[in-house]
Amino acid sequence: MIRFDRGLRLLMTLLLLGSLSPVSTRAEESAGVRPLRNGLAAALASLPAQTHLLLEQQSIEQFLVELDGAPPDWATVYGQGHHDPGHDERLFALNRERDARREGKAPLQWLIAFVWLGELSGFDEREGGFRVVLGPKFNRTAWGEVRFKHEDLPSTLIALAGQGTAKLRTRIQQGTPAPVAVLITGRLIPEESLMYDFSHEAEGLGLIMPVVRVESVDFVLEGGQEKQP
């Protein structure tokens, strides 16, 4: 009887997990299905009032000042480059020191919004919208290059174009790109928050990556006049 009870409990657990997984997947998918807006102002107006907009150089730099005070001495950290025996150790020490000094600071709890670059891809018949392919935006600042890094982004991103759907489908079928700005909103992950590194594209260029847990996404058609629902 004891063995039967244990087996029954195991079976019920497996059934419960099986029933929860599709719900979780559907919730994740729905979070990534959003209307395609015709202008950034409309997308920004839909954000919570306390959202800090990190869309331009000045606002990004001020955000970094609030967190870490001043840029690192990139030249000293870089040294002779990746082949310098002390390079990795200096970079690790920089990150560890700044992580410790950053603990408890208010911006770690801020709701922030930033932009990645996107483009409308194929049409998803089931969702009735366009799949969005995503790529990072590199922001040049006095601190170095800043690239926001997202965590927990919905795996499927779909933009619903409403009355503009037919026109956009024709545009894409003709091979004309349909770029979109992907407005991502979330909060820094406290235990990671900022990561300091160096660019792989430009020798000695400092790279800063704020690590953000995503709470919402919005899509904005760039340069388009398609009507929205």
What would the pLDDT profile of 56-73 be if each residue is shown by its tens digit? Answer: 999 999 999 999 999 999
Instruction: For 158-184, write each residue's pLDDT tens digit.
Output: 999 999 999 999 999 999 999 999 999
DSSP 96: H
This prediction has a pTM of 0.83
Q: What is the C-alpha separation between 161 and 219, in angstroms, rounded? A: 10
> Using CA atoms, how far apart are residues 24 and 19, in angstroms rounded to an integer?
9
**Exposure pattern of 41-76 as b/e (b: 16+ CB <10 Å)?**
eebbeebeeebbbbbeeeebbebbeebbeebbebee
Cα Rg of the chain, angstroms: 22
pLDDT above 90 coverage of the chain, percent: 78
Encoded tokens for 223: 């340069």
Element (H, E) at 129: strand 129-135
- pLDDT score at 216: 96
Residue 19 has pLDDT above 70, yes or no: no
Query: Does the pLDDT at position 3 exceed 60?
Result: no
Per-residue model confidence as pLDDT tens digits over 70-81 = 999 999 999 988
3-state SS assignment for residue 7: helix
Q: For position 223, what pLDDT does the model report?
A: 78
- For the chain, give the percent of residues with pLDDT over 70: 84
User: Domain ranges in the chain?
Assistant: 1-31, 32-221
Q: How does pLDDT run across 125-140, given as a tens digit for each residue?
A: 999 999 999 999 999 9
Name 92's Cβ contacts closer than 8 Å, sequence gap at least 6. Answer: none
